[in-house]
Amino acid sequence: MSDTEKTVLLSYNEKNKKVVIPAHSPKSDLEFLQSFFLTTFKFEWNSNVNLDVTFQKYDADFAEFVDLDDSDSVEHMDKLKVVVMPILDTPDHDSSVAQSDIEVCFSSHNFDII
């Protein structure tokens, strides 16, 4: 949705990846980054676990990284942190996996980052 190409840095765990968001992309910046992230950092889960991907940008006013909303855009040379939360899809409803269960989920399911 931007008129110019943007390069941003995605940081996830100990990995940093430069990403170029093309000019005139039909997707919003964050939609493009989410698609890129999920295909580049290949995640494999059972069919009942989805991933909620959140991007965070440093806010100097708060001296903290803050979550970006779908309507937010990114600037050329921004550094973004990626936060991934497993979401358990149950027959009754969708629910976030409790933080204490995340380690169990990681150890009991095939989770590969290539």
pLDDT at 107 exceeding the cut of 90: no
Note the pLDDT tens digit of each residue in 78-95. 999 999 988 877 766 545
Note the pLDDT tens digit of each residue in 91-105. 665 455 554 444 444
- 91 assigned to some structural domain: yes
Return the C-alpha torsion angle 63, 113, 22, 61, nearest 10.
0
Q: What is the CATH number of the domain that holds 101?
A: 3.10.20.90
Instruction: Provide the β-strand partners of residue 65.
Output: 58
Cβ atoms of 70 and 28 closer than 8 Å: yes
Domain of 52 in residue numbering reads as 6-108
Q: How would residue 73 be classed by pLDDT, with cut points 50, 70 and 90? A: confident
- 114 assigned to some structural domain: no
- 35 assigned to some structural domain: yes
- 113 assigned to some structural domain: no
Note the pLDDT tens digit of each residue in 12-58. 988 999 999 999 889 899 999 998 998 887 766 666 777 889 999 99
- 86 assigned to some structural domain: yes
CA distance 108 to 64: 33
- 74 assigned to some structural domain: yes
**Number of domains into which the chain is organized:** 1
What pLDDT, on the 0 to 100 scale, is given for residue 45?
Answer: 60
What pLDDT, on the 0 to 100 scale, is given for residue 44?
Answer: 62
What pLDDT, on the 0 to 100 scale, is given for residue 31?
Answer: 92
Q: Is 39 exposed, middle or buried (0-12, 13-18, 19+ CB in 10 A)?
A: exposed
